[in-house]
Amino acid sequence: MTTVSHEKNLIGRVALVTGSARRIGRAIALELASRGAAVVVHARSDRANCEQTVKLIQAAGGRAMLQLADISIPEEAQRLVDFAVAEFGGLDILVNNAAVRRTVKLDQLGPREWREAMGVILDGAFFCAHAAYPHLVQSAAGRIINIGGVTAHVGARDRVHVVAAKAGLVGLTKALALELGPRVTVNCVAPGLIEDPADDAEATRFRRNHFPPETIPMGRTGVPQDLSGVIAALCSDQFSWVTGQTVHVNGGIFLC
């Protein structure tokens, strides 16, 4: 996977990207690193893919370290943030990307599946933000980016738990933006149909059934780099007056 920008406008900044072992999270980590940020790569348990993300960053001349943590547990989220600060001397950017996206029909959706989605997507974003904000407010360019999804705005079959958690990120974004301004900007980026060559074929079929590619006005599905460039821009000084917003990156499949 390659990045799309070589503009070094994040030199000296430290970024923590949750769920960055692969796909969108990996692309975000690579993009931020390509712009000069030191990056903490994270997953709950996927050490092998985290190590690959770190190697890709380091091979391109960037700085990265990995840390595993279950961010649905407050103490684990705190430990993750503490690691970033201890290893790189501070924290400027938090990207809450970690998610679970299992499809479960409503009549089979139980408390365990509901709590897992809420725990990773919504609770995890809050716990990480809560642990990170004392450091972010000390930064000259504190940023929180929550990765939502178009389904939070249009719904999706067999994903009541995931859609509800992603919708919660929109509210969390607005509340944090009011709470942390003017020192920290907080925004949500909502991707549409994003595909990666390494995607599972069954998951791809499910996404395409819900969002047929032929209905996308831009005429193609998205790739992770379509999203990572937008996130890097929001982390830059040029977007320092943008906060509390949900930015839709979907090729026009959802027009808000």
Q: What is the pLDDT of residue 209?
A: 75
Residue 79 one-letter amino acid: R
Contacts for 16 with CB less than 8 Å, ≥ 6 apart:
39, 40, 42, 80, 81, 84, 91, 93, 94, 95, 128, 132
Average model confidence (pLDDT) across the chain: 94
**Which residues sit opposite 174 in a β-bridge?**
none
Res. 138: pLDDT tops 80: yes
Instruction: Kindly indicate the confidence band of residue 5, based on its pLDDT and cuts at 50, 70 and 90.
Output: very low
Q: What is the pLDDT of residue 2?
A: 44
Domain boundaries, the chain: 14-192+226-245
Model confidence over 211-253: pLDDT tens digits? Answer: 788 999 999 999 999 999 999 999 999 999 999 999 999 999 9
Domain at 14-192+226-245, CATH from 3.40.50.720, 3.40.50.280, 2.20.25.160, 3.30.230.10:
3.40.50.720
Model confidence over 65-124: pLDDT tens digits? Answer: 999 999 999 999 999 999 999 999 999 999 999 999 888 999 999 999 999 999 999 999
